[in-house]
Amino acid sequence: MSKPKIMIVEDEVLVAMSLRLDLLDFGYEVAELCSTGEMAVKTIKQVKPDLVMMDISLSGELDGIETAKRIKDILDVPIIFMSGYSDQSMQEKALAVDQTHYFLKPFNVDELQKTLKLAILKKH
């Protein structure tokens, strides 16, 4: 069985690289690192990840929520949102797009690992 592929959409380089290392330690393949929503939408069809981890606040014209909506129109893939802000209305908007999960940065690594396993199991 091949490793599940995860796409990271995060515009903060240090956060993206740290998350990438965590995912590799968990045994996942990091299929793509995207720094903008536009890049994620453009590459999602070619990458075909099993899951997307996405920041809500992104550089560029598309925020994470709009990016997720566009990705969902292209590919049915679970999306786990990340944010540095605890805004209740933003969490509700994010979870309306995908019910998987919403993490506040910095997140608990054990909780992240459990959520990833559940999201990938639900997809398959």
Read off the CATH number of the domain in which 26 is found. 3.40.50.2300
Q: How many domains does the chain have?
A: 1
Domain span including residue 67: 5-123
pLDDT tens, residue by residue, 68-86: 999 999 999 999 988 876 6
In 3D space, the residue among 48, 46, 57 whose CA is nearest the CA of residue 9 turns out to be: 57
Q: Is 29 helix (H, G, I), strand (E, B) or coil?
A: strand
- Residue range 11-38: mean pLDDT, rounded: 96
Say which residues have a Cβ less than 8 Å from residue 33's Cβ, sequence separation at least 6.
7, 8, 10, 16, 20
Model pTM? 0.88
pLDDT of the residue at 99: 61
Average pLDDT value over all residues in the chain: 88
Q: Is the peptide bond before 106 cis (omega within 30 degrees of 0)?
A: yes
